[in-house]
Amino acid sequence: MAMRGNVLIAQGGGPTAVINQSLIGVINECKKFREIEKIYGAIHGIDGILNEEFVDLSQETSINLENIANTPSSALLSTRRKASHETCVEMFKVLSAHNIKYFFYIGGNDSSETLEIILQESKKANYDLRCIHIPKTIDNDLVLNDHTPGFGSAARFVSQGFVGINLDNKSLGGVYIGIVMGRHAGFLTASSVLGKKYEDDGPHLVYLPERDFSIETFVNDVKDVYSKYGRCIVAISEGVCDSEGTPIAVKYCKEIERDSHGNLQLSGNGLLGDLLAHYIKNGLGIKRVRVDTFGYLQRSFIESVSDIDRMEAREIGEKAVQYAVIYDMNGSVAIKRIGDYDIEYRLEKLHLIAGKTKTMDESFINRDGNYVTEAFLKYCKPLIGRSLKEPYVLRAPKVEKILAKK
Amino acid sequence: MAMRGNVLIAQGGGPTAVINQSLIGVINECKKFREIEKIYGAIHGIDGILNEEFVDLSQETSINLENIANTPSSALLSTRRKASHETCVEMFKVLSAHNIKYFFYIGGNDSSETLEIILQESKKANYDLRCIHIPKTIDNDLVLNDHTPGFGSAARFVSQGFVGINLDNKSLGGVYIGIVMGRHAGFLTASSVLGKKYEDDGPHLVYLPERDFSIETFVNDVKDVYSKYGRCIVAISEGVCDSEGTPIAVKYCKEIERDSHGNLQLSGNGLLGDLLAHYIKNGLGIKRVRVDTFGYLQRSFIESVSDIDRMEAREIGEKAVQYAVIYDMNGSVAIKRIGDYDIEYRLEKLHLIAGKTKTMDESFINRDGNYVTEAFLKYCKPLIGRSLKEPYVLRAPKVEKILAKK
C-alpha cells in the first residue's frame, strides 16, 4: 500500500544532454498516481532542500515540460554538496514540513552515495521516505548498469567531433590530440572511434585511465602511426595516470582544486594537452601538433543528442516512480541490456551502487593499451543513437602524370 | 568566346564544414559547358600542381558528389603553401602539359593572395589561364564580402555550443571562459551570443581582437558580472592583443610557431585560457573557473551545419564557373547582401581581396569593448541558418517556505 504524500525531485552532479528527460519522466508518471499529491522540485539539488527552495512542478504545462525535456543540463540546477548526519537532520525538518514521502534524485556516482546516506539517516530518524536514485552520468561509470543515461549523447558528440577532426587533420596533416572527459573510466574517450569509416581514419590511438600511461610509450606510439599515415590523431582521457596512480595532468600542476567529494579538477584547463604536445614536438620533431580539450562542450551540446539516450533517460524516470509507488521500494534504477539492442530496468539496492566506480572491461581494451577492441564497438555503437552523419571520400581516379615527376 | 580546355580545382587553407559544397558546385556547373573537357582536382592545393597530383573528377558519380558536398573539410585535401615566381614557373609547365585553361581555387585570405600571384605570373609567362577565387573561411575576414562561406556553420557551432555551456554553467555556477578561433577578426567569437534567450544567459562578456585587451579590465568586467549573476561566461578570441598589438597568448609563450604565410599558431594550445583562469582565480578568489579552447571542433563539426551556409557555398562554386566560362573573367566571387535576408554575387578583382583582412565594423562592438551590439545580431543571425535548437526553462512557481528559512 503506497504512502500518500508529496514528491520531491532533485538533480545533482555534472549535467548531461538528457538529464531533463528523466525529470519529465518522473513528473509525468507521478501524475498517474492518486497517492501523489504535489510534485515539487528542489533547486540546486540537496542545497534546495536545506534552503527550502522548492518549485511546484505540478503547475508546469505539458508543452513546456516537453520543451524542457529536450533542453540539456539540469533544469532544477545542480550541486556537488554531500550529505552528512547533520545535514540530514536539517533536511528531514524541511521534508517533513512539506509532507515529502518520495524523493527522486537524478545524479551519478556521488549523488547515489548522497542518497544512500539520506536513506540510512531517514531510517534512523524514523522518517518514512522512499528514496530512488535515477542514474545519469556522461562517464558511464555506475556499477550494475549496462550503461547510464547521458553517456550516449556525450559519446555521440565525441564520436561526431572526431569525424570532423579526422577530416580536418587529413587535409593539413600533423598530430592532433583530443582530451576527452573521464576521470577513472575511459568509456567516453573510447567512443571517439565510433565514427571511423575508412582504413586510415583517426583516432589512431586511444589512451584510457584504465591503463598506466607512460609518456615514452605514447611518443613511440605516435611515431609509429605518423610514419605509417603521415599524420596521427590521438584521443586521450583527462584522467590518465602513471604507474603509481598519479594523474599525468596533476603530476605537473602546482595548484590543484578538489570538489567536496574529493575529486580532483581535471577538466577546464589545458595542461595535459600542452604537456603531451611538448613531448611530441620535441621528441619527434613534428612541427604541426594541435591539442584541444573537448571540455564542457561534450556534455551538453544541444545539437548532437542520441535518440536512444533520450528515450532511455525518459523511461528511467518513469520506472523510478513505478518502483516507489507501485512497489514501495527504495533503490537505484539500473539498466540491463537484452537482445541486440534493447534494455530492461531493474531496481538495485542503493548501497550496491553508491560511491562505486565501474571502469572499462578488460575485453574492451587492446593488449597494448592504446586502442579499443571489437567488443567495445559492439557494446557502444547502439548507445550513440541513430541518424548519424557520415563522411564520404572522393573515388575519382588519378590522372596519369605527363611530366612524370615523382 | 570561352577557351576550350580542362579545368583544375584546388582547395587551400583551413577547412570548413561546407568547403566541399563549393567543390561540387564547380564540378556540376562545369558539366554544363561544352568548352570544358576534363575536370581535374589537385591534391593538397597548389602542392598538387607542383607534384602533378591530379584526380579526374569527371569520373565521380552524382550520388558520391552529393555525399561529399555534405562532408566537412577539403575533400581534395589542403595546403598552407604560398606561390612564388619560381613555383609559378614550375606550375605552368604542369598546367600546360594537362591543357588546364581554368583554375578554381577555393580558399581564404592567403589562398586569394596565392591566386593573385599565379594570375600575374601567368600574364608575364603568356600562359592564358582563367583564375577564379572561391571564398571560404570560418574567420569571415575577406574584404568586399558581406560574409564568407564556412563562417555561418562555424558560427552555428559556436553559438549552439554556448547554449549548452550556458545551461551547464547555470547549473553549477562559477566562471567559464571559452576561447574561440579568430586571429584578427572577431566575428566567430561574437557569434557566441546568438543563442542567448533569457535575460541572465551567457556569454556575458565577449572579447574581440579588434579591441585592445587588458587583463586588468577583463578581471574587473568578470567581477561585475559575477556579483550580478553569481556566475560569468566569457567568450574570447584566441587573437586578442595588448595595446602594443602583441597577442596575449604570445606574450607569455616562449615557443611560437609560424606557418608559411607568417601567421602565428594561436589555436591548438591551452595557454591563453590557463593564463586568464589564473588571473580570475587569484584576482577574484573564485574557485570554480573552467576554460575550454573550442579549437578544431568548431570548423568541421559534421552535426551542426548552417543550411544557409550550405546553400551559399554551393552557389558560389556555380557562379565561379559562370564568371570564368560565360564572361571569360578572372577574379574573386564576392557575396553581397540584399534585402533581409538574401544575397547576390559579384566578381571582384583579385588584387582587391588578396591578402587583405576585414575585421568587425565599429558599429558591431559596444563602447566598452566587451560585448556586441544589436547591429551585429541583425547582421549575423541569418548566417547561422534555420532549425536551431532552443533551450527552455521551468516556469513553475516557488513553493511557499514553511520553515521560513532565508
Is A255 an interface residue toward B (CB < 8 Å)? yes
Residue B258 scores a pLDDT above 70? no
Report residue A49's pLDDT band, with 50, 70 and 90 as the boundaries.
very high
Least confident of A118-127, A345-354, A375-384, B396-405: B396-405
Whole-number pLDDT of residue A255: 47
Residue B49 CA to residue B36 CA, distance in Å, equals: 19
Report residue B92's pLDDT band, with 50, 70 and 90 as the boundaries.
very high
Residue B235 exposure: Cα atoms within 13 Å on the Cβ side: 32
Least confident of A159-173, A215-229, A250-264, B10-24: A250-264
Q: For chain A, what is the radius of gyration of the CA atoms?
A: 23
Whole-number pLDDT of residue B255: 47
Report residue A248's pLDDT band, with 50, 70 and 90 as the boundaries.
confident
A47, A110, A139, A141: the active-site residue: A139
Helix axes A62-69, A19-30, angle to 10 degrees: 150
Measure CB to CB from residue B291 to each of A78, A269, A297 and give the nearest one: A269
| Pair B179, B238: CB distance under 8 Å | yes
Measure CB to CB from residue B300 to each of A73, A167, A299 and give the nearest one: A167
pTM comes to 0.95
Residues B268, A290: C-beta atoms closer than 8 Å? yes
- Mean pLDDT across B282-299: 93
Whole-number pLDDT of residue B191: 98
| Pair A54, A8: CB distance under 8 Å | yes
Residue B199 scores a pLDDT above 80? yes
Residue A67 scores a pLDDT above 70? yes
Report residue A315's pLDDT band, with 50, 70 and 90 as the boundaries.
very high
Residues B75, A269: C-beta atoms closer than 8 Å? no
Is A300 an interface residue toward B (CB < 8 Å)? yes
Residue A184 CA to residue A379 CA, distance in Å, equals: 19
Helix axes B85-97, B109-124, angle to 10 degrees: 70
- Share above pLDDT 70 across residues of chain B, in percent, rounded to a whole number: 95
- Mean pLDDT across A106-117: 96
| Pair A3, A115: CB distance under 8 Å | no
What are the grid coordinates assigned to B90, written together? 614550375
The amino acid at residue B244 is: E
Task: With beta carbons under 8 A apart, name residues in chain A contacting B405.
Answer: 51-52, 94
- Mean pLDDT across B331-343: 98
Whole-number pLDDT of residue A267: 56
Residue B292 scores a pLDDT above 50? yes
Residue A84 neighbours by CB distance under 10 Å: 12
Is B292 an interface residue toward A (CB < 8 Å)? yes
Whole-number pLDDT of residue A274: 82
Least confident of B8-17, B30-39, B286-295, B331-340: B286-295
Residues A395, B11: C-beta atoms closer than 8 Å? no
Give pLDDT tens digits for B19-66. Answer: 999 999 999 999 999 999 999 999 999 999 999 999 999 999 999 999
Residue B322 scores a pLDDT above 50? yes
Mean pLDDT, chain B, rounded, equals 94
The label of the residue with cell 588584387 reads B351
For chains A and B, what is the number of CB pairs under 8 angstroms?
A: 283
Report residue B259's pLDDT band, with 50, 70 and 90 as the boundaries.
low
Residue A159 scores a pLDDT above 90? yes
- Give the ipTM of the model, two decimals please: 0.94
Report residue A188's pLDDT band, with 50, 70 and 90 as the boundaries.
very high
| Pair A330, A131: CB distance under 8 Å | yes
- Which chain A residue is nearest to residue B267, measuring alpha carbons? A290
Whole-number pLDDT of residue B2: 81
- Mean pLDDT across B317-331: 98
Q: Please provide the size of chain B in residues.
A: 406
Residue B371 CA to residue B360 CA, distance in Å, equals: 12
Whole-number pLDDT of residue A250: 77
Is A160 an interface residue toward B (CB < 8 Å)? yes
Domains of chain B: 5-149+305-353 (3.40.50.450), 151-303+360-384 (3.40.50.460)
Residues A41, B396: C-beta atoms closer than 8 Å? yes
| Pair B17, B305: CB distance under 8 Å | yes
| Pair A272, A179: CB distance under 8 Å | yes
Residue A291 scores a pLDDT above 60? yes
Whether residue A212 lies in the annotated active site: no
CA–CA min distance A362, chain B (Å): 30
Whole-number pLDDT of residue B385: 98
